[in-house]
DNA sequence: TGCTTACGATTCACTTGCGTATCTTATCGC
DNA sequence: GCGATAAGATACGCAAGTGAATCGTAAGCA
């Protein structure tokens, strides 16, 4: 009946002995003598570990405990630098946020496909993270992905596809007419949606599909597949 | 030094007395005499509460503790029915999952806009929930939103926009040509993306924008705004 | 009416994480 | 080399959640 209690009571009885043993160890639990990191070097190591934890376990698993364990230090070290969880999170995101390379191939289509390809390669973890893993963060703070993106992105800067379109216009590949932001940025939105839904890397087929079947026709690019020449049936 | 241990030891010592006291109380702590829910009625109440908890606090806050507290019962009652957290979650989602109404107005554009409007009204919480609130669930289980949707959706059924397009073809509003699934279902994808990004209800303007600036032009609907007549500059 | 079921309540030991308070000691600047 | 600094370790009190066990009793049925 009370097996559990008996066993536990027995363990409790050894607390004193365990404490004494720990003291006898003298705290040489870890590799004492190894170089002790300080200042920026330590900070970098912490943020690296924080990033890993964030990607692997999401915001929910993004605890001081987990980060400290992973970096091989203790929580007080983290608290000294980032008193709030948000501070550590923001520092981590800021360090690892870098814009995706926008290719300049001289072809609208190749630019678009190339950029989405870069996005997939560079941000497979990033966008997944920002969209899904940070769900708890967004709920806790009441913010959204778009707001976080705004705080991380340098303001007033053209988006990748605005750049791509502008170049195509300069080349004369596209007419110089006003276009809605919705249409211009459509490929990245669809790409991001695919990534959200599947939680996986977006396939090359999907990228080409987005560009050839949706974006280029919308931009009125000659030779692009029209609505009546799409290959796949509605399934 | 060992204050904690001493204190705990002291508390431990009172266990017998506390048990005796509880027995003397007779368990009449709450409003005895109020009707006690049983069977299906209790189950419904639990799932209702579970749904509320899920929407409000997300999967992370979706604990037996929280659900039990909200429904006014205790955790063992929940454990008896759903031994695993996933069981309770699936039961909750199954109960509250219902398809969005697909309007049949006789107009392709009105059908599309109307459906997205219904989606926004019916699923503002739902899709937000499924996308963002369940992030931990997806990570824990290694599944994705698309897989969950597949398990909840009746298989082999046409999507809303496939239905809408098929009706338009029957009416002669659209030519009977093969269309890619990507293009047909584009509006809901963009709608869902908007919801993901902003974590808010999708505005009517955005819905109209999706239909008029993206979808209808792609389907080659005459009179729809072409790529060169979009109102807003790239901003 | 009496019996069976199972609901509601409570307790328990345990785990994980938080935020803080120390203490020792390695490292750096002088 | 020496002192100031801060890394790293450990502990504490607290809080929330987990499964499980137990117990009294209200509800439903024969």
Q: What is the CATH number of the domain that holds B47?
A: 1.10.10.60
- Non-local CB neighbours of B176 within 8 Å, separated by 6+ positions: B169
Distance CA B219, CA B174 (A): 8
Q: Are B196 and A145 in contact (CB under 8 A)?
A: yes
| Range of the structural domain that residue A198 is part of | 108-222
Q: What are phi and psi of B170, to 5 degrees?
A: -60, -40
What Å value separates CA A85 and C1' C19?
A: 11
Phi, psi of B32 (to 5 degrees): -65, 145
Identify the CA nearest to B217 among candidates B140, B113, B109. B109
- Phi–psi pair at A128, nearest 5 degrees: -55, -50
Reduce the DSSP state of residue A20 to 3 states and report it. Answer: helix
A191 and A163 in one domain? yes
Which residue in chain B is spatially nearest to A224 when comparing CA positions?
A: B218
Q: Do A123 and A85 share a structural domain?
A: no
Q: What is the mean pLDDT of residues B101-109?
A: 86
Distance CA A100, CA B59 (A): 32
DSSP letters of B198-235? H-SPPPHHHHHHIIIIIIHHHHT-TTS--GGG-SS---
Would A28 be classed as within a structural domain? no
Residue A92 CA: distances (Å) to CA of A118, A142, B81? 22, 20, 42
Is residue B81 located within the same domain as residue B112?
no
Same domain, B197 and B146: yes
The confidence band for A18, taking pLDDT boundaries of 50, 70 and 90, is very low
Residue B128 falls inside a structural domain: yes
pLDDT digits (tens, 9 = 90+) for B148-193: 777 767 677 788 899 899 999 999 999 999 999 999 999 989 998 8
Contacts of A192 in chain B (CB under 8 A): 193, 196-197
Q: Are B61 and B135 in contact (CB under 8 A)?
A: no
C1' of nucleotide C24: residue with nearest CA? A27
**Using CA atoms, how far apart are residues A228 and B175, in angstroms rounded to an integer?**
8
User: Which positions 9-48 on chain B have a beta carbon less than 7 angstroms from any atom of strand D?
Assistant: 23, 26-28, 32-36, 38-39
Decide if B183 and A210 are in contact by the 8 Å CB cutoff.
Answer: no
Residues A166 and A80 in one domain: no
Assess whether B215 and B170 both reside in one domain: yes
Domain check: are B132 and B220 in the same one? yes
CB within 8 Å of A48: residues ≥ 6 apart: A71
Query: For residue A213, which residues of chain B lie inside 8 Å, CB to CB?
Result: 180, 182-183
Q: Measured from the CB, is A33 under 7 Å from any atom of strand D?
A: no
Structure tokens at B54: 């899920």
Q: How far is the CA of A41 from the C1' of D5 (A)?
A: 16
Model pLDDT for residues A116-138, shown as the tens digit of each residue: 888 888 766 666 666 666 777 77
The total domain count for chain B is 2
Are A88 and A152 part of one and the same domain? no
In a domain, A165, yes or no: yes
Answer yes or no: is pLDDT of A190 > 90.
Answer: yes
A44, pLDDT greater than 80: yes
- Establish if B16 belongs to a structural domain: no
Higher pLDDT, A179 or A152: A179
State yes or no: pLDDT of A214 exceeds 90: yes
- Chain A residues 52-71 within 7 Å (CB) of strand C: 61, 63-66
Which nt sits closest to B31, CA to C1'? C8
Q: For residue B196, give the 3-state DSSP assignment.
A: helix
Residue with tokens 């909840």: B152
Q: Residue A219 pLDDT > 80, yes or no?
A: yes
Residue A212 pLDDT class (50, 70, 90 cuts): very high
Last residue of some domain: B73, B96, B119? B96
pLDDT at B230 over 60: no
A139 falls within a domain:
yes
Q: How far is CA B19 from CA A4, B10, B12, B31, B155, in A?
A: 18, 15, 12, 21, 55
B41 CB closer than 7 A to any strand C atom: no
Q: Which nucleotide is nearest to B41 (CA to C1')?
A: C7
Closest nucleotide (C1' vs CA) to A28 is D9
**Nearest CA among B46, B55, B51, B101 for reference residue B78:** B46
Tell whether A60 and A116 lie within a shared domain: no
Answer yes or no: do B196 and B155 share one domain: yes
Determine, yes or no, domain membership for B52: yes
Residues A106 and A171: beta-carbon distance below 8 Å: yes
First to last CA, chain A: 60
Find the mean pLDDT for residues A194-206: 84
| Cβ distance of B233 and A175 shorter than 8 Å | no
Tell the residue number behind the tokens 């005499």, with chain if given: B33
In a domain, A15, yes or no: no
Tokens of B172: 């002669």
Contacts of B228 in chain A (CB under 8 A): 175, 177, 220
Alpha-carbon gap, residue A127 to A120, rounded angstroms = 9
Q: For chain C, which bases have at least one atom within 7 A of a protein Cβ?
A: 6-14, 16-22, 24-28
A vs B, Cβ pairs < 8 A, gives 169
Residues A112 and A217 in one domain: yes
Contacts of A158 in chain B (CB under 8 A): 234
Q: B230 lies in a domain?
A: no
Query: Is the CB of residue A36 inside 7 Å of nucleic acid strand D?
Result: yes
pLDDT of the residue at B123: 65
Q: Which of B51, B67, B96 is the last residue of a domain?
A: B96
> Which protein residue's Cα is closest to nucleotide D11 at C1'?
B1
Which pLDDT band holds residue B34 (cuts at 50, 70, 90)? low
What is the SS3 assignment for B34? strand
Condensed to tens digits (0 to 9), the pLDDT of residues A135-176 reads 777 777 777 777 777 777 777 788 889 989 999 999 999 999
Distance B18 CA to C10 C1' (A): 11
Spatial distance between the Cα atoms of A226 and A214, rounded to a whole number of angstroms: 9
DSSP per-residue codes, B46-95: HHHHHHHHHHHHTTTT--HHHHHHHHTS-HHHHHHH-SSHHHHHHHHHHH
């Amino acid at each position: 009946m009370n097996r559990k209690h008996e066993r536990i009571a027995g363990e409790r009885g050894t607390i004193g002995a365990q404490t004494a043993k720990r003291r006898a160890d003298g705290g040489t639990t870890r590799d004492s003598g190894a170089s002790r990191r300080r200042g920026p070097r330590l900070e970098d190591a912490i943020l690296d570990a924080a990033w890993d934890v964030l990607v692997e376990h999401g915001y929910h698993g993004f605890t001081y405990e987990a980060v400290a364990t992973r970096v091989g230090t203790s929580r007080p070290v983290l608290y000294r630098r980032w008193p709030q969880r948000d501070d550590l999170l923001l520092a981590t995101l800021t360090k690892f946020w870098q814009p995706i390379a926008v290719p300049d191939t001289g072809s609208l289509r190749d630019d678009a496909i190339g950029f989405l390809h870069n996005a997939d390669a560079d941000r497979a973890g990033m966008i997944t993270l920002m969209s899904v893993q940070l769900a708890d963060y967004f709920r806790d703070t009441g913010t959204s992905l778009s707001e976080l993106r705004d705080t991380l992105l340098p303001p007033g800067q053209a988006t990748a596809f605005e750049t791509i379109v502008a170049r195509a216009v300069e080349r004369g590949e596209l007419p110089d007419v006003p276009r809605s932001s919705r249409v211009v940025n459509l490929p990245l939105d669809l790409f991001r949606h695919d990534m959200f839904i599947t939680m996986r890397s977006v396939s090359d087929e999907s990228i080409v599909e987005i560009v050839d079947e949706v974006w280029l026709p919308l931009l009125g690019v000659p030779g692009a597949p029209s609505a009546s020449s799409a290959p796949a049936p509605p399934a």
